[in-house]
Amino acid sequence: MEANTIYRISKGDEQAFDTFMDECSSALYHYAYGILGNHQLTEEVVSDVFLEVWKNRKGLLEIESMKAWLRTVTYHKAVSTLRHESTIPEGISLDEIESFRISPLDAPDEAMISREEIDSLNRAIESLPPKCRHVFFLAKIDCRPYKEIAEMLQISVATVNYHVGYAMEALKKILTLIALTLPIDIFN
């Protein structure tokens, strides 16, 4: 995100805000959908996040990392939606998010990786435990720093490290088993 765009939004520039929404909506949608697994609820959460940005526009220049702030707001709004939708009276924690989903990944170069290999990778990721899948998404797909993930999810950096390590080992095992059944080598 350009600092100029954030500055213009902080001054009430609606055109800059539209540009900002275009740039950020896809990533926020994928993240919220990973938590909610429901397109309608995800759209509502993303809309609420952008409403929050607009309501707090005068303070945007004080935010150190806009991406981290957006991710945190999205996470809290999605979890709040889960609480409301499931009517859990005491709230919800990372332990209770049982259905974190990662939207299917697209290959950066279709010529190098076949659709079958991409599907295998997505199935392997989907087979991870929900908490592990969520942390893996933030760390390896969204490239968030471990410390930021720990703060966002209110867990320790060691726990983040554990989940990422577990995910990497589990994916390696699953993909190795899949590779043995495929006539191609997915590790080349």
Is residue 162 within 8 Å of residue 95, measured between CB atoms? Answer: no
At 186, the pLDDT band (50, 70, 90 cuts) reads very low
CA dihedral 42, 120, 163, 29 (to 10 degrees): -20
Angle of CA points 145, 149, 155, to nearest 5°: 135
Q: How far apart are CA 94 and CA 135, in angstroms?
A: 10
pLDDT value of position 92: 45
pLDDT digits (tens, 9 = 90+) for 84-139: 765 433 444 555 454 555 555 444 444 455 667 667 777 788 888 888 888 888 88
pLDDT value of position 11: 92
pLDDT value of position 70: 92
| Residue 63, pLDDT above cutoff 60 | yes
Structural tokens at position 126: 């989907």
pLDDT value of position 134: 86
pLDDT value of position 178: 67
Q: Which of 108, 106, 155 is nearest to 135 (CA)?
A: 155
pLDDT value of position 91: 43
At 180, the pLDDT band (50, 70, 90 cuts) reads low
Is residue 164 within 8 Å of residue 128, measured between CB atoms? Answer: no
Q: Which of 105, 147, 101 is nearest to 122 (CA)?
A: 105
pLDDT value of position 89: 39
Mean pLDDT for all residues in the chain: 78
pLDDT value of position 169: 85
Q: Which of 113, 123, 108, 115 is nearest to 178 (CA)?
A: 123
Query: Cα–Cα distances in Å, from 118 out to 36, 44, 107, 109, 114?
Result: 23, 29, 7, 11, 6
pLDDT digits (tens, 9 = 90+) for 97-110: 545 555 554 444 44
pTM to 2 decimals?
A: 0.54
Q: How far apart are CA 97 and CA 36, in angstroms?
A: 9
Is residue 138 within 8 Å of residue 149, measured between CB atoms? Answer: yes
Long-range contacts of 46-55 (CB under 8 A, 24+ apart): 46/74, 48/77, 49/73, 49/74, 49/77, 50/17, 50/21, 50/25, 52/77, 53/9, 53/17, 53/20, 54/9, 54/17
